Amino acid sequence: MILRLLIGMLCLAPFGSSAETLNVSNFVFRDLDGDGIYENEDQPFAGATILATVGEARIAATSNLNGFGNFLLGAEASEADFFEAGEGKVTYDAPAGMFVSTAYPEAVFEVRPVKDSIAGLVVDPPLPFLGLAIEPQLVVYAPGAVSLACRGTEDLQNITFDNRGIAECEIPVEQAHEAWDLTVSFGDSRTVRHEGIVPGFRKRIMALSAQQTPQDRSQGDRVTFDTVLRTRDVREMPALENGLRFHNFVVAHRRFYGGNGYVNALTSGEYVAYTSSGHPGTISREDGFVPVSMELGYAWPGARGGHAIIEAFRDDHLVHQIKLTLSTDYPVTFMPSWGRVDQLVIRHSSYWQVLIDDFVYQE
């Protein structure tokens, strides 16, 4: 009888007593168009650091795979981050290559007691959304090139290629959605022009060659990797009906492995592909294909110590190779002008997983 009474008392214990805790969340998203507004096409951002100060206490939270940086609120909870009334603020640091697009470089709030609330305290006002946008970048890789002229609506930049064959246009944020014309000059007086490139809030790496005309990117088939699975699982990427074959690329739901890169490198849907076990992944077609663009990233932070390598083969001969520095914080758009190839090989110099999404090609 006594046991039954105790069980009944436990079941009737009020949820929301002063010992309860509650998450106070700061939502972080990757702002695809840089307008500071969270919209349907924007993606949650994982791994952002949010620093909160309440009185003398300073607490850091990291946004999770759903984009939420959580602080624990509780008036009588020893594990709580916010446990007493007072004024506070949160501040944000954007990762390298990104900037805060929302209007709040910091947010001020008040922690105040409220009788009969779940945690005994509330945070007022709620913490605002944090938008992070990629700094607009146009990077040109052209072995043997001497100079790059970048012309925007108001700007003309003349840039010298470094000894790796790389030059970068500095794109002002306010001109990210404007069209830019690129002229690459080679040492033998040959030039290659590429007109009407709109950087957007992306890092775009273009691979150009003196022997190859710039790629027509107005048409192409897109592989999003979102039709292979319907569950939070993994599966080898199968061949397509037109003969495009994938080998050693595994399709995974963005939350399957718990790595920030699987979330932040995603550009569409809920699924992304990666090079299995860090071994090279290949894309091939017997009749050849023309790679137009692809979104690339690193799955894990350890990959930052090396670089991704993209190789193109034609008739079993290596015809193009590029080494790219990628990120776990955002996708890098790679846009080769290599013409028709038989096979692409994507790998990492230290055998880390390279991620790929939205692969666009022409038959």
pLDDT per residue as tens, the chain (363 positions)? 433 333 333 333 333 344 589 899 999 999 999 999 999 999 999 999 999 998 888 899 999 999 999 999 998 888 889 888 999 999 988 999 999 999 877 889 999 999 888 999 999 999 999 999 999 999 999 999 999 999 987 777 889 999 989 999 989 999 999 999 999 999 877 888 888 899 999 999 999 877 766 667 778 999 999 999 989 899 999 999 999 999 999 999 999 999 999 999 999 999 999 999 999 999 999 999 999 999 999 999 999 999 999 999 999 999 999 999 999 999 999 999 999 999 999 999 999 999 999 999 999
Q: Which pLDDT score is estimated for 358? A: 97
Q: Which pLDDT score is estimated for 19? A: 57
**Distance from C-alpha of 33 to C-alpha of 101, rounded to nearest angstrom:** 9
**Distance from C-alpha of 75 to C-alpha of 40, rounded to nearest angstrom:** 36
Is the domain of 224 the same as that of 209? no
Is the domain of 345 the same as that of 254? yes
Taking the CA atoms of the chain, what radius of gyration do you get in angstroms?
Answer: 25
In a domain, 272, yes or no: yes
CATH number assigned to the domain comprising residue 176: 2.60.40.4130
Q: In Å, how far are 237, 261, 266 from 277, measured between CA atoms?
A: 14, 15, 19
φ, ψ at 276 (rounded to 5°): -60, 130
Q: Which pLDDT score is estimated for 218? A: 73
Question: Which residue, of 111, 134, 157, is where some domain finishes?
Answer: 134
In a domain, 319, yes or no: yes
**Distance from C-alpha of 230 to C-alpha of 12, rounded to nearest angstrom:** 41
Question: Which residue, of 134, 157, 172, is where some domain finishes?
Answer: 134
Contacts of 334 (CB under 8 A, 6+ apart): 205, 207, 293, 294, 295, 296, 310, 322, 324
Do you know the residue count of the chain? 363
3-state helix, strand, coil in the chain (%, to 5): 5, 50, 45
Is the domain of 339 the same as that of 266? yes
φ, ψ at 104 (rounded to 5°): -115, 100
Is the domain of 198 the same as that of 282? no
Q: Which pLDDT score is estimated for 213? A: 67
In a domain, 1, yes or no: no
Is the domain of 246 the same as that of 310? yes
Is the domain of 149 the same as that of 241? no
Q: Which pLDDT score is estimated for 215? A: 66
Domain total of the chain: 3
Cis status, amide bond into 336, omega within 30 of 0: no
Is the domain of 82 the same as that of 28? yes
Residue 84, amino acid: E
Is the domain of 25 the same as that of 153? no
Query: Could you list the residue range(s) of the whole structural domain that residue 159 is in?
Result: 135-214
pTM above 0.75, yes or no: yes
In a domain, 30, yes or no: yes
In a domain, 6, yes or no: no
Is the domain of 140 the same as that of 90? no
CATH number assigned to the domain comprising residue 125: 2.60.40.10
Question: Which residue, of 214, 236, 252, is where some domain finishes?
Answer: 214
The helix/strand/coil state of 10 is helix
In a domain, 196, yes or no: yes
Quickly count: other Cβ atoms within 10 Å of residue 257's Cβ. Answer: 17
Is the domain of 326 the same as that of 352? yes
Is the domain of 123 the same as that of 152? no
Q: Half-sphere exposure (CA, 13 Å, Cβ side) for 64?
A: 9
CA angle centred on 167, ends 224 and 266, rounded to 5°: 20
Is the domain of 270 the same as that of 318? yes
In a domain, 5, yes or no: no
Picking from 184, 149, 152, the residue whose alpha carbon sits closest to that of residue 171 is 152
The helix/strand/coil state of 278 is helix
The structure tokens 């038989």 sit at 342
In a domain, 2, yes or no: no
CATH number assigned to the domain comprising residue 261: 2.60.120.1350
